[in-house]
Amino acid sequence: MSPHAQDHASLEHFLASIGPRAFRFAELGLRHREDSLDAVQDAMIKMLDYQHRPAAEWTPLFWSILRSRIVDTQRRRTFRLRWLAPMPERDDGSQPDWADEGPDPSRTHDGREAYGRLADALGRLPRRQREAFSLRVLEELDVATTARVMGCGEGSVKTHLSRAREALQRQLEDWR
């Protein structure tokens, strides 16, 4: 196998492994399935330009690209004439149906309910807090990588994350 084919196969594996998480991240930011799918697909296509970069650079690079796509979509929405083209909502108002390979149906239901409540609570956070929480907690990126992805300092990441955690604790307090 040629080095180019190895790079491409390795990038395909990386993108396949990150795809479901990337979609959830995009859907939390955009709250619209089709726009989320488009943002993830655009980010994955853009990653093809970087397949020769070291694999260690792919994770922060991918998240930076995806975040930019999400912000671009959000900006385009802001400029729409709201009375002519209302902001898209999720078609049926339901939560995403994430497959759970667990054998117990009640556990599956509880997991979906927990994800739904977390997604709703995250959706109510300001964008920067939602990004910091998603990248640091859900994606487990370190502070430096998160700061690079978000385009801010490490102190800002810590502040946004702290505020996000406080807000989520308040929002989810009754559910515990």
Instruction: Answer yes or no: is pLDDT of 86 > 60.
Output: no
The predicted model scores a pTM of 0.58
Of 48, 81, 114, the last residue of a domain is 81
> pLDDT value at position 173?
81
> Does 174 fall in a domain?
yes
Do 110 and 73 lie in one domain? The reply is no
Q: Which CATH number is 172's domain given?
A: 1.10.10.10
> pLDDT value at position 158?
95
Range of the domain at 154: 104-176
Distances (CA, A) of 2 to 54, 119, 120, 131: 16, 43, 46, 38
